[in-house]
Structure 1
């Protein structure tokens, strides 16, 4: 068996054709996919199963494989790179040396983003949490300053469940963005929003000083969000400045 997942061109083309471009910010190529539209392709039956999903249920296998196929299709379409990114043994995608990518899924929705000009990159998609979940789990997600931000500013723009969904999702994006550096899961309460603009839907995050120093992280990270009827998509990304 090859060390990398082989994806026939026809499957790659089929997935790319039913995906939709999503604009988050310039220099970031992002695409979304409705997984319910992929069932007729029988991706799960046509491709080998990497170790990570060998024991997974059919839906999880389809979700995983479609994410990797779409990411590889975007890599090919926008950067002219035809190299495989899915190791049969390693859990994370193996991006080309000058490209960063991120994949996220929630229920039947899937998004991928790639850039060849990124200092850091992470994306996330989440369906809105319920009011009950927001009330019960807020203390695990929001820092004291983020509770204050809700009361002083955010409540004018979002209800509490949507606000908790936003913070949860943007921190997921942040952790994906710093994982190549930190190689470690970081707690939700160890990062916090320090600036937010609801008109532009952009924000700035930082980690606690001890976390910054421990993992050699940057002082601040830039991100943003896009709202859909039943879900939210967030991104943490900064392009390199060649000036």
Structure 2
């Protein structure tokens, strides 16, 4: 799978795994992150985490499995035109209204939500083991002062992850990118 990727994409992929390995080593774990046939990260025993990479940037987060966290992280580069053109693919009308009124530039708010939904997928997929779309969650609130947001499931994913289940996340706007974390 990685053999067919362009060199830049391979480098980002490897950089994210290198970052994860460094974090694991710093935490006293000599393991590394493998990749499953479906391309998801396979964490060493006792650990969980999340990886993201895009356009020359990579990020990793880890947590001990017994901490009760399933982190999801995402990094996205800012492209106002793409956000405007694709907003209806990953948001509802109510979400777009909330974002338009939140005090951030509309395209920035859209990117935060897109990234947060990606982070939520990464956090939940290892638990629910099924693909779900952007419509499976909606934004309930965004606090620009605290750089935080709340997402809520709009459908049943598993008996433990029911419609109405809420997840809190953080975001960081940095230069021309957004980083989100759900844990």
How many residues are matched? 179
TM-score (normalised: structure 1): 0.68
The answer for unaligned runs of 5 or more in structure 2 is none
Pairwise mapping of residues 48-63 of structure 1 onto structure 2 (< 5 A)? 52-63=1-12
Give the drift of 1:90: 6.4
Counterpart secondary structure, 1:211: coil
Query: Counterpart of 1:124?
Result: 74
3-state SS, counterpart of residue 45 of structure 2: coil
Q: Which residue does 2:119 correspond to in 1?
A: 173
Once the two structures are TM-superposed, the CA of residue 94 in structure 1 deviates from its matched residue by 1.7
- Divergent runs of 4+, >6 A: none
Corresponding position: 1:110 with 2:58: yes
Taking the aligned partners of 1:87 and 1:62, their CA distance within structure 2 comes to 15
Query: Larger Cα Rg: Structure 1 or Structure 2?
Result: 1
Instruction: Describe the shift of the 1:87–1:204 C-alpha distance in structure 2 as closer, same or farther (beyond 3 A).
Output: closer
Cα pair 1:203 1:223 within 8 Å, conserved:
yes
Query: Any idea what SS the aligned residue of 1:174 has?
Result: helix
Residues 200 and 61 of structure 1: is their aligned pair in 2 closer, same or farther, counting only changes over 3 Å?
A: same
TM-score, normalisation: structure 2: 0.88
Change (3 A) 1:90 1:169: closer
Q: 3-state DSSP class of the match of 1:120?
A: coil
Equivalence map 1:83-232=2 (5 Å): 83-87=31-35, 91-116=39-64, 117-130=67-80, 132-151=81-100, 153-154=101-102, 156=103, 158-208=104-154, 210-212=155-157, 214=158, 216-217=160-161, 219-232=165-178
CA distance in 2, matches of 1:83, 1:203: 33
SS of corresponding position for 1:67: helix
Q: Contact 1:174–1:236 (CA<8 Å) still a contact in 2? A: yes
User: Do 1:63 and 1:105's aligned partners in 2 also have CA atoms closer than 8 Å?
Assistant: yes
Pick aligned residue for 1:68 from 4, 8, 17: 17
